Amino acid sequence: MHAHGRMLNAILIAAVVALAAFPLAGSTFYTQLITKIMIMAIFAMSLDLLVGYTGLVSFGHAAFFGLAGYALALMVPKYEAASLWWTLPAAMAACAAFALVTGALVLRTRGIFFIMVTLAFAQMLFFVFHDTKFGGGSDGIYIYNKPHLKLGETALLDLEKLDHFYYLVLVLLVAVYLVLRRILGSTFGHALVGIKVNEHRMRALGFPAFRYKLAAYVISGALAGMSGYLAAVQFGFVNPEIISWHQSGAVLMMVILGGMGTLYGPAIGAFAFVMMQELFSNQAWFGAYAKHWQLAMGVTIILVALYLPQGLSGLLQKFGRRKEAAEAEHD
């Protein structure tokens, strides 16, 4: 097991090094694409805390993603840039607050109910921004100026520059991974997994299961908010589509596709999902059917649900275990 962990760490460090080197070689298009993938990876990892570790299948995670984007759009003055130092924490705090209120309600339910209620609350938020003037209606809001990042008077990063933004996202991705791993390694994290396996037993052992689940829900919401904030900065606008249930479905798919309950799996899932999107909507390959790329996506999702329940990382682990077993036999 320890050998396994060391190997994993080595692979992850290699992946981060590769990501850090990428903008030096990659074109503008691919640097932007990888930035988007890393943002979605943060989003997917935040959901993994709920789905993979706590056993809470949320189908409304896009609510936090969208709320943070809108929070940024509403906080930024129209003709000048705002500071990232306070807009990012403020956007995440808004998500944490929304998670606290809705979490207190949705966590009263379980199973199928939980899935439906999380979806319904996300949809409620969708209507708040879709139907009201302050949210810009169905057109959304443009963010004309990207936030600035200054220490005193000197600018640390210029987010208008592609590679500066890329490295900010990469640093945050690594930070979120490390924070989540730290959380999951703590007593709190182990208690969450315990709740997933057997909530009654955890309660009998004296753990306040409801409060633990609520805490996980709030943390997950705030981290999803971080990814939504970054996405809004990258694309320069927000519209209600970012809260739509298709967004919630997509991120759930990333988690499963990559392998839930592993943290790095959902990041792989985000990569695979976005790449598939690019592939299926490639006109050079699929011609007129590129327009209907969701068909291929839908079929893939169905096949993953049926035949790849542990996701891509499960596949790798199985392969690794077989290899280990073969080596053990050899000895």
DSSP state of 53: I
Which residues are within 8 A (CB) of 90 and not within 5 positions of it... i.e. 6 or more apart?
Answer: 71, 75
Of 122, 158, 142, 134, whose CA–CA distance to 244 is shortest? Answer: 122
The nearest distance, CB 249 to other proteins, in angstroms, is 5
> Does residue number 100 form part of the binding site for other proteins (CB under 8 A)?
no
> Does residue number 210 form part of the binding site for other proteins (CB under 8 A)?
no
Q: 89 vs 63, 71, 73, 84, 303, CA distance in Å? A: 17, 11, 14, 8, 39
> Does residue number 268 form part of the binding site for other proteins (CB under 8 A)?
no
239 C-beta neighbours (distance < 10 Å), count: 22
Complex with other proteins: residue 134 or 319, whichever CB lies closer: 134
Q: Which of 28, 83, 109, 198 binds other proteins (CB under 8 A)?
A: 109
Q: Do you know the residue count of the chain?
A: 331
What is the C-alpha to C-alpha distance for residues 323 and 320, in angstroms, rounded to an integer?
5
118 C-beta neighbours (distance < 10 Å), count: 27
Retrieve residue 290's tokens: 């590129």
Stretch that binds other proteins, among 88-96, 101-109, 158-166, 212-220 (CB under 8 A): 101-109
Considering CB under 8 A, how many residues would be counted as binding other proteins? Answer: 42
> Does residue number 59 form part of the binding site for other proteins (CB under 8 A)?
yes
Q: Which of 89, 249, 310, 317 binds other proteins (CB under 8 A)?
A: 249
> Does residue number 17 form part of the binding site for other proteins (CB under 8 A)?
no
> Does residue number 252 form part of the binding site for other proteins (CB under 8 A)?
yes
- Contact residues: other proteins, CB under 8 A: 51, 57, 59, 105-106, 108-109, 111-113, 115-117, 119-121, 123-124, 127-128, 130-132, 245, 249, 252-253, 256, 260, 292, 294-295, 297-302, 304-306, 309
